Amino acid sequence: MPIPRFHLAFPVTDLAMTRNFYAGLLGCAVGREDTRWIDFDFFGHQISAHLVDAMPAPGPTNEVDGKAVPVRHFGAVLDWKDWHALAERLRQSDVAFLIEPHIRFAGQVGEQATLFIEDPCGNGLEFKSFKDPQRLFAR
């Protein structure tokens, strides 16, 4: 059975910057759009950037493995090789990391590569990868 695709709508204050970030930097194909929203193919899932006059106040963080992780975030679990290529592309593009690329939970069941960034409007994104994809939901 194929994995269902998710849909996520999120606020942005500038559609042009949002398009440049998601389509240009991350390589997400652009779907339908209007004057106040744009759909993107976010690694096989549909995300919709909706124009707002002001962004909501920044949300709280939780400490995870000694790092302040933004509670409100979304992202993708990538193939190991693809994650490293994205991390390098972000570095080469001088993207500021909320949390630098690193290996979290080293030597444990949940060992993973992870990084956190923000889009131009302040939405938190996490990209992660597991060397062993079967460990995604391991306890």
Q: What domains appear along the chain, each with residue ranges and CATH number?
A: 7-51 (3.10.180.10), 61-135 (3.10.180.10)
The answer to whether residue 1 scores a pLDDT higher than 80 is no
Give the phi and the psi of residue 135 in degrees, each rounded to 5.
Answer: -90, 0
Alpha helical stretches, state H, 11-79: 15-19
The answer to whether residue 30 scores a pLDDT higher than 90 is yes
Q: Note whether 100 and 117 are within 8 A (CB).
A: no
Mention every residue, 6+ apart, whose C-beta is less than 8 A from residue 58. 70, 122
More confidently predicted of 92 and 66:
92
- Give the other-Cβ count within 10 Å of 86's Cβ: 20
Give the pTM: 0.93
Q: Note whether 99 and 115 are within 8 A (CB).
A: yes
Question: Percent of the chain at pLDDT above 70?
Answer: 100
- Give residue-wise pLDDT tens across range 79-108: 999 999 999 999 999 999 999 999 998 888
Q: Note whether 78 and 129 are within 8 A (CB).
A: yes
Q: Which of 19-23, 84-88, 107-111 has the lowest mean pLDDT?
A: 107-111
d(CA 104, CA 128) in angstroms, rounded, equals 10
Q: Which of 36-40, 59-63, 97-101, 113-117 has the lowest mean pLDDT?
A: 59-63
Alpha helical stretches, state H, 32-112: 80-92
DSSP state for residue 133 in the 8-state scheme: G
More confidently predicted of 85 and 137:
85
- Give residue-wise pLDDT tens across range 33-48: 999 999 999 999 999 9
Tell me if residue 21 falls in helix, strand or coil. Answer: helix
* Strand bridging mode 73-78 / 124-129: parallel
Give me the pLDDT at residue 139, please.
83
The answer to whether residue 74 scores a pLDDT higher than 90 is yes
